[in-house]
Structures are given as structure tokens and as C-alpha cells.
Amino acid sequence: QVQLVESGGGLVQAGGSLRLSCAASGRAFSSYTMGWFRQAPGKEREFVAAISRSVSSTYYADSVKGRFTISRDNAKKTTYLQMNSLKPEDTALYYCAATSDYYSSSPLRYDYWGQGTQVTVSS
């Protein structure tokens, strides 16, 4: 099993930056593909980014491509999401998640989830 804890959320003005972290505990962190998802009030949970277990491949939603960067440090068992040029529409509860799949953008394919960290972008 993997336990995930997100941190780094907060309130930021449009155009600003935040860096989210997701610390994992448990064994075999490096065997999971890690993903970030977000959910705004009244909306479905949506895919943001994912990174393969070997760190060789990254994937992004079109809405964040060029602004967000996902990375991971397998030695520290931590996944990061660097968010630049933030927009009010990026406001949401951000979750990290782990999947045994090589890659998936579907939240249904992710086995483990953190509790989420709130990101609020003011205009």
C-alpha cells in the first residue's frame, strides 16, 4: 500500500506560482505512476498531469500544458507539481494519486489518493 499526503497549496494572485508536493509512505513508490488531479466545486475530478515510474515520460492536460511541470524524486518518495502563470480557473482542490498502470488520465485507474490541498487563484 501507499499513503499519500499533499502540501503546498494556498492563495495566490493570477500570474503567480505555487509548488505542490506529494509525500508517499509505504514500499514500492518507484513502481507506481504518479498523477495529479483537481476538482473544483460542482465539477468532476479532472486529470492534470502524470509521470511514469521511471521518470522517463510525462503527460499533461491541454489546459495546463506549458504552465505546469510534474516531477518526482524516487529517493525521497515525493512527487511535485510546479504551477506557473496561474489563472483563476486553476482554482480547485488538488489531489495526487498512484496507479499501477504505465499511464492513465482516468481517475478510475488510480488506486491510492491523498486528501487534497486547496489552490485558490484570485483575479
- What is the residue-wise DSSP string for 3-67? EEEEE--EEEETT--EEEEEEEESS-GGGSEEEEEEE-TTS--EEEEEE-TTS--EEE-TTTTTT
Mean pLDDT in residue range 68-82: 96
| Cα–Cα dist 69/105, whole Å | 16
Q: Which residue from 118, 119, 112 is spatially nearest to 4, judged by alpha carbons? A: 112
pLDDT at 26: 85
| pLDDT at residue 28 in the model | 87
pLDDT of the residue at 55: 72
Q: Which position has the grid cell 490541498?
A: 117
Residue 108: pLDDT band (50, 70, 90) is very high
The per-residue pLDDT for 13 is 98
Quickly state the pLDDT bin for 34 (edges 50, 70, 90). very high
Between CA 35 and CA 49 the distance in angstroms is: 6
Q: How far apart (Å, rounded) are the C-alpha atoms in residues 98 and 4?
A: 9
Instruction: Give me the pLDDT at residue 16, please.
Output: 98
